[in-house]
Structure 1
Amino acid sequence: MVINYTIQKALLTNQANDPWNERLGHPGASTLKHLGLPTLQDSCLVCKTNKSHKLPFQNHFKPALSTLDCVHMDIVGPINPPSMSGK
């Protein structure tokens, strides 16, 4: 059995530096401030992942009123390698 002490130490250090973060369910800075606890210097991975929000996509669709009002084109150029058909 091989034990990786580096990972064990990193996990232990992360918990020792901020025991309240995990115990309180990863609260925000305003909650920690309200409770009189120090705020995090570096957010943990769980905080960063769960507190990031995807903004709604703004739909700017305007229907074309006449021919060539809206043109979509490929301006990248020739793609290498060619397609499976060789073209």
Structure 2
Amino acid sequence: MSRYATSHLMWEVTRDGELAERFRTDPDAVLDGRELTEQERTALAEADVRALFEFGIHPFVLYHFALRLAGSFSMPFVQQYIGRLQGLTIGDLET
């Protein structure tokens, strides 16, 4: 797995509104040509924050990626985000 390639793509989506919109509408087109495993591609395309966390993506990058895809901060976003990560412990994060 390429944690760097996954994190880098997520950071790009977070920083670039146009790329984020393309990712929302056609994630496969944005993911094409990137050095990612099939597991990473699937987790990214589905914005599966739990899987991405388990891959070792830094929580800061993960949160901002999910927030960008959600469009804006809201309590329903926070509840959904926390719900997806429920049951994980900090020991699940590699540093």
| TM-score (normalizing by structure 1) | 0.24
Answer with 1 or 2: which has the greater Rg: 1
Higher relative contact order (CA 8 A, sep 6+): 2
Between Structure 1 and Structure 2, the one with more helix by share is 2
